[in-house]
């Protein structure tokens, strides 16, 4: 196996964070990983299979509340977490099956209303979800107590790395190639023998399972679940993450997650400006860098020698902005 110094450095930093960093830093890095997991699933759905989902926060909410519910009933956290993921995946099937018939903007609206319904259920079904007062989510106590942030940090990072490797393998397998083919052209890939129903539903299942696991980790990390953290705007945030990091790159999901987890902390002083800057930055990314940070870096790596020197830096950035003129929009 080839030794990659960058990767080793990243591992080293991730291992050292809890020993050298403050509690606060540990919290932020854990949050990046949790957001990243949810964005990773969405990236497989949107970046690879080319479907749109405006309801990732709904899947995250299902995972989070189901996990917290089962823990409250006395189940172990290590059983509740997969149950949360599975039930979120079930929700994904329920949304994914009708999604075969609809696509494009209709799919966006359908998934968006799914997220709305979940949010409203969280607010109104008080006997289970606690309503607007929220729900306490406790950390696992087996095999030893994870109350200390550092220990739970390792759990989150381990799961994140594991899920990342799984996602990378999915993407590189025949499934990933089928997803890409569907994204490129549904009718052609169908005529090539790709089972659209199977693969499109599968993409939804993967997306929602990742969302559910992220939710199951999010609850114990924060310690408290509140319907306000699962609104339609949070769904938009996950999409922003993958667009910002680079659609269809997987690593981009974590870059975007890091951006949106760290920016609020940077802007802590000016909390009023937070949402405004989110929106503005995102619009700028959509217009000027639609391929996100990763897309930019890839081009930057390959064409540094010729292009970059010839056109100059600013022109280079703006050159990238044009959306390719492909098929007319259906």
Partner 1 sequence: MVRLAQLIVDGIILGSTYAICAIGMVVIFKATDVINIAQGELVMMAAFFGFTFRVLFGWSFILSFSLAIGLVILLSMALERLALRPLIKAPIWTNIIATMALLIILQSIARLIWGPEPYTFPPFLSRIPFTIAKIRLTQHDVVIFGTSILYMILLYPFFKYTKVGKGMRAVQMDKEAASLMGISVRKMYSYVWMLNAILVGTIGILLAPRLGVYSTMGLLFIKGFVVAVMGGFTSLAGSIVGGFLLGIIETLAGFYISSAMKDIVSFIVLILILIVKPTGLFSESVTKRV
Catalog residues that contact partner 1 under the rule CB under 8 A.
Answer: 46, 52, 54, 98, 101-102, 104-106, 108-110, 113-114, 116-117, 120-121, 123-124, 187, 233, 236, 239-240, 243, 272-276, 278-280, 282-283, 286-287, 290, 321-325, 329-330
Spatial distance between the Cα atoms of 67 and 77, rounded to a whole number of angstroms: 7
Q: Give CA separation, 123 vs 40, 119, 277, in Å.
A: 27, 6, 28
Spatial distance between the Cα atoms of 183 and 94, rounded to a whole number of angstroms: 21
Orientation of helix 105-124 relative to helix 232-245, angle to 10°: 130
Q: Which is nearer to partner 1, 310 or 321 (CB)?
A: 321
Q: Give CA separation, 278 vs 11, 267, 285, in Å.
A: 29, 11, 11
- The CB-of-239 to partner 1 minimum distance in angstroms stands at 5
- The CB-of-179 to partner 1 minimum distance in angstroms stands at 16
Compute the half-sphere exposure of residue 28: CA atoms within 13 Å on the CB side of its CA.
15
Spatial distance between the Cα atoms of 126 and 134, rounded to a whole number of angstroms: 9
Q: Which is nearer to partner 1, 30 or 111 (CB)?
A: 111
Q: Considering only CA atoms, which of 265, 277, 202 is closest in space to residue 240? A: 277
Q: Considering only CA atoms, which of 199, 202, 165, 171 is closest in space to residue 47? A: 171
- The CB-of-249 to partner 1 minimum distance in angstroms stands at 17
Q: Which is nearer to partner 1, 148 or 275 (CB)?
A: 275
Q: Which is nearer to partner 1, 45 or 163 (CB)?
A: 45
- The CB-of-51 to partner 1 minimum distance in angstroms stands at 9
Over the Cα atoms of the chain, what is R_g?
Answer: 20
Phi-psi bin for 250: left (phi > 0), alpha (psi -120 to 50), beta?
left
- The CB-of-49 to partner 1 minimum distance in angstroms stands at 13
Spatial distance between the Cα atoms of 103 and 76, rounded to a whole number of angstroms: 39
Report whether 210 contacts 40 (CB < 8 A). yes
Q: Give CA separation, 103 vs 69, 130, 146, 271, 295, in Å.
A: 33, 35, 43, 37, 25
Q: Which is nearer to partner 1, 11 or 125 (CB)?
A: 125
- The CB-of-292 to partner 1 minimum distance in angstroms stands at 12
- The CB-of-267 to partner 1 minimum distance in angstroms stands at 12
Task: Count CB-CB contacts under 10 A for residue 84.
Answer: 31
Q: Which is nearer to partner 1, 20 or 330 (CB)?
A: 330
Q: Which is nearer to partner 1, 217 or 243 (CB)?
A: 243
Q: Which is nearer to partner 1, 73 or 191 (CB)?
A: 191
Q: Considering only CA atoms, which of 179, 172, 173 is closest in space to residue 207? A: 179
Q: Which is nearer to partner 1, 52 or 163 (CB)?
A: 52
- The CB-of-207 to partner 1 minimum distance in angstroms stands at 14
- The CB-of-90 to partner 1 minimum distance in angstroms stands at 16
């Amino acid at each position: 196996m080839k030794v990659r110094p960058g990767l080793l450095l990243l591992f080293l930093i991730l291992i050292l964070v809890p020993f050298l960093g403050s509690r606060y830093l540990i919290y932020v890095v854990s949050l990046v990983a949790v957001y990243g997991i949810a964005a990773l699933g969405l990236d497989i759905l949107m970046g690879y299979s080319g479907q749109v989902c405006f309801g990732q926060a709904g899947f995250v909410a299902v995972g989070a509340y189901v996990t917290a519910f089962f823990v409250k009933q006395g189940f172990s956290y290590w059983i509740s977490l997969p149950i949360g993921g599975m039930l979120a995946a079930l929700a994904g099937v329920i949304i994914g099956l009708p999604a075969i018939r609809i696509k494009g903007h209709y799919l966006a609206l359908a998934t968006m209303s799914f997220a709305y319904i979940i949010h409203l259920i969280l607010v109104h079904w008080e006997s289970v979800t606690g309503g607007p007062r929220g729900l306490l989510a406790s950390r696992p106590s087996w095999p030893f107590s994870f109350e200390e942030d550092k220990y739970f940090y390792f759990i989150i990072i381990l799961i994140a790395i594991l899920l990342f490797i799984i996602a990378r393998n999915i993407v590189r397998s025949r499934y990933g190639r089928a997803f890409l083919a569907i994204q490129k052209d549904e009718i052609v890939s169908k005529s090539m023998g790709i089972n659209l129903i199977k693969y499109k539903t599968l993409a939804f299942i993967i997306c929602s399972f990742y969302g559910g696991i992220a939710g199951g980790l999010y609850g114990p990390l924060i310690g408290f679940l509140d319907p306000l953290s699962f609104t339609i705007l949070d769904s938009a945030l996950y999409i922003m993450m993958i667009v910002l990091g680079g659609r269809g790159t997987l690593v981009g999901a974590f870059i975007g997650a890091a951006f949106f987890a760290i920016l609020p902390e940077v802007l802590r002083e000016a909390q009023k400006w937070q949402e405004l800057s989110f929106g503005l930055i995102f619009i700028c990314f959509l217009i000027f860098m639609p391929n996100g940070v990763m897309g930019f870096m890839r081009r930057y790596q390959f064409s540094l020698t010729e292009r970059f020197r010839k056109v100059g830096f600013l022109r280079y950035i703006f050159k990238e902005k044009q959306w390719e003129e492909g098929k007319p929009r259906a």
